[in-house]
């Protein structure tokens, strides 16, 4: 299937509503093709598969409400009659794509799932270009969306991407939504350590369940990939009793719920150090919360690692590889 | 819990030397050390981090540290391209590192 020239513009058109209405920014967008044709009662729809995004999905509470992750099947079964028709049609495409990815098939040739509609147009009468035209006093009667964009570009002297960027800045719902989505602190909370649990042998099953329930799969997979890369060096790291380290360095420690990257922290209000455990790769670090840069990473006894003194009390810088090795610890089980 | 997500590089040859040897204490007038905003952090983690891992094996992650070697600085600048407004702190660190020939440390 030939890649259409409008693909980047379409991607751009996806970004604004994703950010404004759900507070997320799609990262990986795979073009799947188009469905349908424009007619009196129908629209041609460009379909993309998004496998990765940044931000935490949250409906803006104005245009969108109650955002949930649902499988295409569930959507179809429970909400089939009330879905926006082009969206309902698009659900057929990801299902096919998932099956093809399972079999590692190349979907770039379309595999006959859909037809490329050369004369495609998109967007309904309430979509962005029409709204902008109205604001600029352009008569939209009889204009297609792309003609609207052309009229806008001609009138304002700005490109489509510039108009998008301006609209994004002016949109209060976009701003409030992105602020709401960028509050990882909302997802984190402290709770007491479990009684009788030895954390050097603990399987963190409850925390893993919480992690899976809190963060989207794409973000968890990305964090897992990074952790897997980091753990290539695990063999060279020292093993320590994490439970003993926690209780030795921290007074009245509490455990914090998992972060987006799959880290669980043991924190004390009374000490500036905290112990951070990686759920993906089973290692821990000791961090000083008030220090900047790499100097925040401390040794297993709470000692700074940026430099060291030799037997003659002369100070030396810690080489990168050595500092990395001394800042990461395997759990001794 | 308050905590910084810093980007660090040498402002001059002295700063580069200090970072290379590890003999420094922040804040230091020869060293650029800036905390990134939530917006910049999201962009780095969503766009730059996956690419950096695939391209160079550089791990940009919470509660860990890694660095962009001076030889890789140019590639990162290219990757950022027209999005420099989205990553003001990283962009400034990279251009500074390019000018003085140093590396950039990402301490999230």
pLDDT band with cut points at 50, 70 and 90 for residue A93: low
The SS3 call for residue A332 is coil
In 3D, which of A206, A160, A49, A170 has the Cα closest to residue A113?
A: A49
In this prediction, residue A32 carries a pLDDT of: 67
A158 and A26 co-located in one domain: yes
Q: What is the mean pLDDT of residues A162-184?
A: 48
pLDDT category at A11 given cuts 50, 70, 90 is low
Same domain, A13 and A146: yes
Q: Are A289 and A296 in contact (CB under 8 A)?
A: yes
Higher pLDDT, A174 or A64: A64
Nearest-by-CA chain B residue for A186:
B1
Q: What percent of chain B has pLDDT over 90?
A: 78
Q: What is the mean pLDDT of residues A288-311?
A: 86
Same domain, A189 and A219: yes
Q: Do A173 and A27 share a structural domain?
A: yes
- Provide mean pLDDT across the span A4-31: 63
Q: Is A202 inside a domain boundary? A: yes
Residues A216, A295, single domain; the answer is yes
Are A64 and A17 contained in the same domain?
yes
Clarify whether residues A161 and A122 are in a common domain: yes
**Domain shared by A138 and A198, yes or no:** no
Mean pLDDT of chain A: 73
Q: Compute the nearest-CA separation of B52 from chain A (Å).
A: 10
Total domain count, chain A: 2
Please check whether residue A195 lies inside any domain of the structure. Answer: yes
In the block, which residue shows the tokens 């920014």?
Answer: A25
Tokens of A32: 């799947």
Domain boundary residue, one of A164, A180, A196: A180
From chain A, the residues in CB contact with B60 under 8 A are 226
Mutate to test the interface with A, among B32, B41, B42 (most CBs of A within 10 A): B42
* pLDDT at residue A14 greater than cutoff 90: no
Residue B96 tokens read as 């500074």
Last residue of a domain, one of A146, A180, A214: A180
How is residue A1 annotated by DSSP? -
Rounded to 5 degrees, φ, ψ at A285 are: -135, 160
- Percent of chain A predicted with pLDDT > 90: 24
What is the pLDDT, as a whole number, of residue A43? 65
pLDDT digits (tens, 9 = 90+) for A44-79: 677 777 766 666 677 766 667 666 666 666 677 766
Bridge partner list, B106: B7, B66
- Would you say residue A161 lies in a domain? yes
pLDDT in tens, B74-105: 999 999 999 999 999 999 999 999 999 999 99
For the CA atoms of chain A, what is the radius of gyration? 26
DSSP B46: I
pLDDT number for residue A28? 65
Residue from the list B3, B53, B107 with its beta carbon closest to the beta carbon of A293: B107
Q: Which domain holds residue A249?
A: 184-331
- Of B5, B22, B4, residue with least CA distance to B103: B22
pLDDT recorded at residue A148: 73
- The answer to whether residue A208 sits within a structural domain is yes
Q: A271 vs A75, A191, A250, A288, B90, CA distance in Å? A: 49, 17, 6, 9, 31
With an 8 Å Cβ cutoff, the interface of chain B facing chain A consists of 1-4, 6, 8, 20-27, 33, 35, 38-39, 42-43, 45-47, 49-50, 53, 57, 59-65, 67, 105, 107
State the sign of the Cα–Cα–Cα–Cα dihedral A246, A251, A254, A260. negative
A270 occurs within a structural domain: yes
Give the gap in angstroms from C-alpha A151 to the nearest C-alpha of chain B.
25
DSSP for A109-164, written as a single string: T-TTS----TT-----TTSHHHHHHHHHT---TT--HHHHHHHHHHHH---HHHHH
Please tell me whether residues A193 and A322 are part of one structural domain.
yes
A91 and A188 together in one domain: no
Name the β-bridge partners of B7: B34, B106
User: Is A162 in the same domain as A24?
Assistant: yes
In a domain, A58, yes or no: yes
Residue A1 in any domain: the answer is no
**pLDDT tens-digit readout, A222-231:** 999 998 988 8
Interface test with B, best of A259, A293, A316 (most B CBs within 10 A): A293
Does the pLDDT at position A170 exceed 70? no
Instruction: Give the closest of A225, A274, A293 to B105, CB-based.
Output: A293
Percent of chain A with pLDDT over 70: 58
Q: Which residue of B has its CA nearest to A267?
A: B1
At residue A114, the pLDDT reads 32
Asked if residues B99 and B12 have their Cβ atoms less than 8 Å apart, the reply is no
Q: Give me the interface pTM, i.e. the ipTM.
A: 0.88
Among the listed residues A85, A18, A83, the one whose alpha carbon sits nearest the alpha carbon of residue A55: A18
Q: What is the pLDDT of residues A191-208, one digit of tens each?
A: 899 888 899 889 999 999
Picking from A123, A157, A180, the residue at the C-terminal end of a domain is A180
pLDDT in tens, A116-138: 333 333 444 445 666 777 777 88
Give B25 or B50, the one with higher predicted confidence. Answer: B50
Give B46→chain A minimum CA distance, Å. 5
- Whether residue A327 is contained in a domain is answered as yes
Least confident of A59-73, A87-101, A263-277: A87-101
Continuous segment of H or E residues that includes residue B6: strand B6-10
Rounded-to-10 torsion of CA B29, B32, B34, B40: 160
Which chain A residue is nearest to residue B53, measuring alpha carbons? A226
- Which of A226, A228, A234, A253 to probe by mutation at the B interface, max B CB count within 10 Å? A226
Same domain, A174 and A203: no
Mean pLDDT of B38-56: 93
- pLDDT tens digit string along A98-111? 433 433 333 333 33
Asked if residues A83 and A71 have their Cβ atoms less than 8 Å apart, the reply is no
Do β-strands A329-331 and A283-288 pair in parallel, antiparallel, or remain unpaired? antiparallel
Q: Does A230 sit within 8 Å of B47, measured CB to CB?
A: no
């Amino acid at each position: 299937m030939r890649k259409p020239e409008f693909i980047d513009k379409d991607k751009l058109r996806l970004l604004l509503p994703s950010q404004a209405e759900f507070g997320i920014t799609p990262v990986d967008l795979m073009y799947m093709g188009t469905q349908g044709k424009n007619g009196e009662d129908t629209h041609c729809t460009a379909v993309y598969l998004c496998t990765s995004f940044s931000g935490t999905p949250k409906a803006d509470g104005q245009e969108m409400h109650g955002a949930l992750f649902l499988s295409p099947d569930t959507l179809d079964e429970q909400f089939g009659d009330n879905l926006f028709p082009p969206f309902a049609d698009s659900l057929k495409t990801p299902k096919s794509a998932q099956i093809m990815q399972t079999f590692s098939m190349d979907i770039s040739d379309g595999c006959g799932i859909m037809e490329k509609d050369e004369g495609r147009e998109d967007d309904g009468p309430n979509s962005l270009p029409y709204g902008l035209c109205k604001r600029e006093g352009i008569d939209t009667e009889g204009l297609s969306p792309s003609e609207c964009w052309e009229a806008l570009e001609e009138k304002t002297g700005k490109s489509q991407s510039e108009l998008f960027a301006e609209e994004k800045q002016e949109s209060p719902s976009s701003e409030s939504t992105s602020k709401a989505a960028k509050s990882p602190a909302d997802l984190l909370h402290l709770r007491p350590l479990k009684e009788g649990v030895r954390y050097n042998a603990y399987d963190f099953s409850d925390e893993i369940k919480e992690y899976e329930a809190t963060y989207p799969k794409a973000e968890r997979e990305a964090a897992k990939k990074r952790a897997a890369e980091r753990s290539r060096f695990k063999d060279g790291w020292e093993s320590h009793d994490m439970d003993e380290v926690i209780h030795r360095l921290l007074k009245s420690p509490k455990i914090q719920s998992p972060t987006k990257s799959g880290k669980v922290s043991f924190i004390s209000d009374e000490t500036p150090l905290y112990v951070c455990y990686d759920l993906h790769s089973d290692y821990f670090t000791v961090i000083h919360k008030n220090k900047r840069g790499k100097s925040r990473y401390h040794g297993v006894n709470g000692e700074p690692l940026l430099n060291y003194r030799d037997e003659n009390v002369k100070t030396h810088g810690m080489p990168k590889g050595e500092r990395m090795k001394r800042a990461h610890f395997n759990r001794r089980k | 819990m308050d905590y910084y997500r810093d980007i660090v590089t040498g402002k001059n040859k002295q700063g580069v030397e200090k970072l290379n040897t590890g003999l420094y204490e922040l804040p230091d007038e020869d060293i650029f050390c800036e905390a990134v905003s939530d917006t910049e952090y999201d962009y780095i983690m969503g766009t730059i981090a996956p690419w950096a891992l695939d391209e160079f094996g550089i791990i940009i992650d919470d509660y860990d540290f890694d660095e962009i070697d001076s030889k890789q600085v140019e590639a990162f600048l290219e990757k950022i391209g027209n999005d420099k407004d989205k990553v003001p702190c990283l962009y400034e660190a990279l251009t500074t590192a390019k000018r003085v020939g140093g590396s950039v440390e990402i301490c999230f």
